[in-house]
Amino acid sequence: MGASLSLVPLLDYFARREFAAAGLSPGAVTLPYPGDGGEATCTVHYWASTGEPRLPPLLLVHGFGPRATWQWRCQVGPLSRHFHLIVPDLIGFGGSSFGGDSAASPPSEATQAAALAALLDALPGMKGRRVAVAGTSYGGFVAYWLARTAGAGRVGPVVIASSDLLKTAADDRGFLKRAGDGWSGVEEVLLPAEPAAMRKLLEMASCRPPPPVLMPDFILRDFIQKLFTENREQLIQLFKGITAGTDKFPVTPISQEVLIVWGEQDQLFPVEKAYAVQSSLDGKARVEIISKTGHAPQLEDPTRFNKILLDFLLATHKPDPSSNGASQ
């Protein structure tokens, strides 16, 4: 039974169907690998609204884990009515890859941001267009870096969701304390290799995790195999490439308007970190806490999350002068 039943393709099918129903189509571009200085390339897979943008562009950046379609499936329908959506798989996730046979180093947040900037320039009608960006978890690190380096002329309003830009080694120790005894490091939970670790990740990421009866070991092993084993070495490299919490990832105020969204019961990045991030951005960012949600409020309470995003973006994502009067 365990060998024949797999929920992953079924969940992937339904996520892709949500994207297609919202008018998005898949694509991929091959780009020079940012910062390599040699001949290395990367392939960035994405979903985007069809054609050149006639609505304000919005870039959605996923977190560490499953591909973008899984993480933004509850947002693309409502958001596509107001925005031209671009939803990439970050390098090393989903359909995006890097390095090939070269010795390209694992992508940092800066590398990911540079690749997204190149992707935007490569898409029809997007070169030079001002784009809003929303990132969740690890995607928030990338979204912040993109906004800071590209500047307000290229990147408009920024949404940082469940993303501790100020993460430190002390935060990792706090994470392990909340996880309980028996874990040697953060990566043992975040990159699970055994059902017990996968179960712990689900418990910590969700306010209302599935009951144990719905998480038998054979189902968890299937998820581990499909999501964490087949590309495990690459995921480990990506994890080691994270620079947040080091001097390579300084957090300073940015000129764009910023919204911070957090799940009240987030055990990966506790809710008080939302206010620490706000303070690091000169206290000007708006903070919204969504009750009864954990690390993925966009999935646990999509109605509330989508309303918060739309209220913010419709008020702040102004017409782009470079769009030559394209309607909102």
**Do residues 62 and 71 touch, judged by C-beta distance below 8 A?**
yes
| Strand stretches in 108-199, DSSP E | 131-136, 155-161
Nearest-Å Rg of the Cα atoms of the chain is: 19
What CA–CA distance (Å, rounded) separates 97 from 226? 16
Interacting residues of 307 by C-beta distance below 8 A, sequence separation 6+:
none
pTM passes above 0.85: yes
307 or 239: which leads in pLDDT = 307
In order of start, what are the domains of the chain with their CATH numbers?
12-167+250-316 (3.40.50.1820), 170-241 (no CATH)
The token pair that represents 152 in the structure block: 């307000």
Residue 275 has a CB neighbour count (10 Å cut-off) of 15
Give residue-wise pLDDT tens across range 290-326.
Answer: 999 999 999 999 999 999 999 999 999 876 655 544 4
Give residue-wise pLDDT tens across range 47-78.
Answer: 999 999 999 999 999 999 889 999 999 999 99
Interacting residues of 2 by C-beta distance below 8 A, sequence separation 6+:
218, 219, 221, 222
| Strand stretches in 131-180, DSSP E | 131-136, 155-161
Percent of the chain with pLDDT over 70: 93
Does residue 289 come out as left (phi exceeding 0), alpha (psi in the -120 to 50 range) or beta? Answer: beta
